């Protein structure tokens, strides 16, 4: 079985919500729709206080290249344009809408029928995906249409669908694949058309045997789509790791996947692409996992964007007793949340409750130079050295030791027997070194 060739770890999977049917969460009384995504420029609001909006109506216009449109996920009245604390820990612009009924734009096809044919041209598909405000739903929220427009001179040869879901606890992609396999496969054909490639590989980790079986069975009806079983290994969902696992090609430092002929899209993004292109449905909701070792009913929920996490969590039985930390996203790369009064955003893949005992970091000991961090680093870096250099503000040395290659997967900190905060220091060094590089190149 294939996997990536450098480093990697295998944390306890704890996929408690696996196999739990997707439940549609109740529409809240008020939504707060963030205009900013995890990366890129926030969208410019195109509604004002007092406006009446419908489900699917655009309320934020992308501004700049790395930016995405934002649509209303509910029908009702815009009551406030303000800032809102989001999962990033910062206050960022958002649109506050008071819900009245559930009126959808008429153009949106809400029937469950699967529409396979797509007669649109390459450019029309890209435009539709762009208009629908689709971003990468794996967590990085990179606008999906940007990846479909390779820089001049570069040509994609193969589309890779990231159905790895390598983070422990999370199961939303897995369940989506079980319930919407056909739609996802149609989505893949649409993306293939947009990229003008005739080969696509869906990479699924071996802990999702039912999904592998289902996709292998259905994929025979679609030309050029392969399904590949991958060994369970974190961080296989990392773009570069997944390409290495599937194609045995390593994206060179500082370049993007199309350099080796690959474009990667997440499986949930592919589903959103299907809905946008075939059903005219913009990015207004997504599936997320609510889970934890003590969660009363771990499950997968289809949630409208802008819903406060507190209301979804309430529906899933509330915060379990003895919770020390609430993580937005997966436990390896997610963010610990200050509270649940945070609106659900496009990148919100889950809420994970961590027990108090596991939430508290153990005391930091001396580095015993056991080499485990070097062994697990999927980018072939030396975390122990980068941390030591970051502590001493040795920025040029950090750059030489390729700190900018770090994908912040956290495997080093996870593994360290001395509980050293390796990634904390590397992140700090990365942001400083990144600033130095930018100021140097802008001169």
Partner 1 sequence: MEKLIISPAPHIHSGDSIAKNMYGVLIAMVPALLASLYFFGLGALIVTLTAVAACVLFEFLIQKYILKSEITIMDGSAAITGLLLAFNLPSNLPVWMIIIGALVAIGVAKMSFGGLGNNPFNPALVGRVFLLISFPVEMTTWPVVDPLATTYLDAETGATVLGILKEGSASLPAISDMIIGNIPGSIGEVSAIALLLGLVYMLIRKIITWHIPVSILLTVAVFTGILYLVDPQTYASPLVHLFSGGLMLGAIFMATDYVTSPMTFRGMWIYGVGIGLLTVIIRTWGAYPEGVSFAILIMNGFTPIINFYVKPKRFGEKPKKA
Instruction: Decide whether 249 or 302 has the Cβ nearer to partner 1.
Output: 249
Which residue shows structure tokens 């599936």? 287
Q: Does 358 bind partner 1 (CB under 8 A)?
A: yes
Residue 417 touching partner 1 (CB under 8 A): yes
Give the tokens for residue 392.
């001493």
Beta carbons of 314 and 298 less than 8 angstroms apart: no
Q: 35-64: which residues touch partner 1 (CB under 8 A)?
A: none
CA separation for the pair 327, 336 (Å, rounded): 4
User: Which of the residues 214 through 273 are near partner 1 (CB under 8 A)?
Assistant: 240, 244, 247-253, 260
Q: Which of 295, 54, 279 is nearest to 170 (CA)?
A: 295
Binding of partner 1 at residue 372 (CB under 8 A)? yes
- Residue 404 within binding range of partner 1, rule CB under 8 A: no
* Interface positions, 143-182, toward partner 1 (CB under 8 A): 168
CA 261 to chain centre: 22
Tokens of 62: 């992308």
Of the pair 158, 283, the CB lying nearest partner 1 is at: 158
**Closest to 98 (Cα-Cα) out of 43, 162, 47:** 47
Q: Which tokens in the block code for residue 215?
A: 């996709």
Binding region for partner 1 (CB under 8 A) out of 97-105, 210-218, 223-231, 372-380: 372-380
Q: Does 371 bind partner 1 (CB under 8 A)?
A: yes
Residue number with CB closer to partner 1 (107 or 419): 419
Task: Classify residue 55 by its DSSP letter.
Answer: B
Report the nearest approach of partner 1 to the CB of residue 110 (Å): 37
Verify binding: residue 314, partner 1, rule CB under 8 A.
no
User: Which parts of 323-352 interact with partner 1 (CB under 8 A)?
Assistant: 323-327, 331-339, 352
Choice between 202 and 416, CB closer to partner 1: 416
CB of 326 to partner 1, least distance (A): 6
Number of residues that bind partner 1 (CB under 8 A): 71
Distance CA 134, CA 191 (A): 13
For residue 86, what are the CA distances in angstroms to 89, 134, 180, 300? Answer: 6, 19, 29, 21
Min separation Cβ 422 and partner 1, Å: 10
Could you give the 3-state DSSP secondary structure of residue 117?
coil
H helical segments located in 196-354? 209-219, 239-247, 267-279, 309-315
Q: How many CA atoms lie within 13 A of 88 on its CB side?
A: 18
Nearer to partner 1, 206 or 339 (CB): 339
Q: Which of 375, 388, 432, 436 binds partner 1 (CB under 8 A)?
A: 375
For residues 104 and 414, which CB has a smaller minimum distance to partner 1 in the complex? Answer: 414
Rounded least distance, CB 357 to partner 1, Å: 11
């Amino acid at each position: 079985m294939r996997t990536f060739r450098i480093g990697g770890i295998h944390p306890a999977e704890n996929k408690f919500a696996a196999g739990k049917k997707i439940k549609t969460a109740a529409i809240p009384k008020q939504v707060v729709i963030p205009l900013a995504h995890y990366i890129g420029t926030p969208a410019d609001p195109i509604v004002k206080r007092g406006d009446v909006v419908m489900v699917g109506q655009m309320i934020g216009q992308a501004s700049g290249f790395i930016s995405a449109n934002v649509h209303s996920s509910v029908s009702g009245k815009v009551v406030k344009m303000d800032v809102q604390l989001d999962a990033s820990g910062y206050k960022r612009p958002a649109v506050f809408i008071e819900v009245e009924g559930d009126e959808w734009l008429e153009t949106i096809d809400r029937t469950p029928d699967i529409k396979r044919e797509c007669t649109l041209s390459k450019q029309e598909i890209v435009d539709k995906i762009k208009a629908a405000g689709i971003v990468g739903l794996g967590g990085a929220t990179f606008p999906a249409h940007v990846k479909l427009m390779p820089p001049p001179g570069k040509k994609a040869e193969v589309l890779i669908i990231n159905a790895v879901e390598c983070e422990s606890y999370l199961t939303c992609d897995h369940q989506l694949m079980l319930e919407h396999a056909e739609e996802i496969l149609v989505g893949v054909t649409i993306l293939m058309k947009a990229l003008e490639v005739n080969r696509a590989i869906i990479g699924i980790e071996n802990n999702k045997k039912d999904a592998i079986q289902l996709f292998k069975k259905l994929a025979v009806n679609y030309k050029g789509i392969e399904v590949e079983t991958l060994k369970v290994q974190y961080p296989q969902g990392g773009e570069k790791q997944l390409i290495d696992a599937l194609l045995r090609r390593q994206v060179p430092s500082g370049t993007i996947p199309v350099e080796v002929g690959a474009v990667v899209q997440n499986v949930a993004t592919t589903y959103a692409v299907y809905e946008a292109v075939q059903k005219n449905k913009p990015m207004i909701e997504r599936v997320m996992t609510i889970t934890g070792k003590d969660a009363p009913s771990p499950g997968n929920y289809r949630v409208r964007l802008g819903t406060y996490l507190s209301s979804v969590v309430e529906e899933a039985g509330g915060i379990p007793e003895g919770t020390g930390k609430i993580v937005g996203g997966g436990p390896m790369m997610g963010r610990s949340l200050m509270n649940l009064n945070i609106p659900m955003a496009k990148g919100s893949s889950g809420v994970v409750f961590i027990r108090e005992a596991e939430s508290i970091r153990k005391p930091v000991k001396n580095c015993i130079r056991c080499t485990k961090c070097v062994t697990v680093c999927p980018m072939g870096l030396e975390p122990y050295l980068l941390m030591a250099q970051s502590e001493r503000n040795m920025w040029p040395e950090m750059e030489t030791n390729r700190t900018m290659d770090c994908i912040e997967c956290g495997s080093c900190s996870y593994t360290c027997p001395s509980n050293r905060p390796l990634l904390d220091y590397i992140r700090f060094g990365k942001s400083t070194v990144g600033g130095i590089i930018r100021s140097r190149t802008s001169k």
